Each structure stands twice: as C-alpha cells, then as structure tokens.
Amino acid sequence: MDRLTPQQRHVNMAAIRSKDTKPEMIVRRGLWSRGFRYRLNYKWLPGHPDLVLRKYRTCIFVNGCFWHGHNVTESQMSDGRSKKEDVLVSSECCKIPSTNNAFWEAKIRRNMERDKEEQRKLAAMGWHCITIWECELKPKLRERTLDSLAFTLNHIWLQDKGCKMYDVRGKM
Ligand SMILES: [Zn+2]
C-alpha cells in the first residue's frame, strides 16, 4: 500500500536523486510548500540551473559558499614594487585555505567568473537569475530567506506583467 501524498512522493523522489545536495533540497521544499512549481536541472540552459521556474522566467542557483566564493573581495596588493596583483580576500563563509593558497584562489576565481558568465548568458536569453547561498539556509535564516525568495519571485512576475508594485517595507 502506498500511503504517500503526491507532495511526499515528490519530496521522496527528489531525495533519492544522486545530485541532490542538502541546501538545494531546502530550497525545493521551501518553494514547493509556498505553492511554487519548478523544474530541475535544465541541462540545456547555461550553467545548468538547479531549479527553473518557467512561469517566472527565473533560474535559481543554490551555491556552496566556498566553491562559489560568496562575499570574497578583490584587493589590490602591492608587492612593494610597481607590480600590483589582485588577491582574493576570504569572507566569513568562504575561507580560502592558506595551504596551496594560489591553487584555491585560482580555482574559486575561475568558478566565480564562470558563474558570472553563465548568468550573463541567461540574462541575454531573457531569464532572471537568483542565487541562494548555503549560509542563507542555516536554520536561523532559512525561513526568512525562503520568504524573501517567494517575495522576489512574485515581484518578478508582476514586473514581467508590467505591473508596478509597492512594498510598505520599502525594500524593493
Ligand atoms: Zn555564504
């Protein structure tokens, strides 16, 4: 006997896919419970977005803070001579290891450049892109992040329909 509701089944089936990372599952469940429907892993779109909401013409990327360099900054460091080199400065959630520093820095920088390029391509194709960071899904921040994601999607939908929207909180 199959006692799963369609929603449970959806969550279950999604859970056994091998590519599923936990943060991505949080976003999926959060959107699903707020009534949003999405497609997964649109392979033919640049960057293979984690979730695609066609109705909202929006791609969502759920990014790990370390690999995608969340909040790292570029800093111009002078080595004392005339030559200047850009270095990546670690952030709270992306600590670039000091061992093999150059390797990690190059790797993270490449990922960041790729992300930017893919989102530029998607924008040129008329897609909105939203990035959700792993650190924004920590238990304390999770609900707020998902609420604001839902808010942003509704905002996008209204804007695409040519409606003006006013927010009493003055946020957007
Ligand atoms: Zn982060």
Least confident of 35-44, 52-61, 71-80, 150-159: 71-80
Flag whether pLDDT at 148 surpasses 90. Answer: yes
Write out the H or E segment, with its range, that includes residue 32: helix 22-33
Measured between alpha carbons, how far is 75 from 87 in angstroms, rounded to an integer?
Answer: 5
The CA-based angle 43-44-49, given to 5 degrees, is: 55
Ligand 1 centroid–CA 110 distance in Å is 17
Residue 149 CB contacts under 8 Å (≥ 6 apart), including other chains: 27, 30, 31, 60, 130, 132
Phi-psi group of 41: left, alpha or beta (phi > 0 → left; psi -120 to 50 → alpha; rest → beta): left
For range 152-168, the mean pLDDT: 82
CA distances from 6 to 9, 29, 116, 141, 158 (A): 5, 13, 36, 28, 29
Q: Of 53-57, 76-80, 120-124, 133-137, where does mean pLDDT reach its minimum?
A: 76-80
Mean pLDDT of the chain: 85
Residues with Cβ–ion distance below 5 A, ligand 1:
65, 70, 93, 133, 135
Ligand 1 centroid vs 43 CA: distance in angstroms?
A: 25
The proportion of the chain whose per-residue pLDDT surpasses 90, expressed as a percent, equals 67
Q: How many Å lie between the centroid of ligand 1 and the Cα of residue 170?
A: 25
Do the beta carbons of residue 101 and residue 90 sit within 8 Å? Answer: no
* pLDDT value for 20: 55
- 120 pLDDT band, cuts 50/70/90, is very high
Contact between residue 72 and residue 108 where contact means Cβ atoms under 8 Å apart: yes
Kindly tell me the burial class for residue 164, based on how many C-beta atoms sit within 10 Å of its own C-beta (0-12, 13-18, 19 or more). Answer: exposed
> Mean of the pLDDT values across residues 100-110?
94
Q: What is the pLDDT of residues 20-67, one digit of tens each?
A: 558 999 999 999 999 999 988 778 899 999 999 999 999 999 999 999
**Distance from residue 112's CA to the centre of ligand 1 (Å):** 13
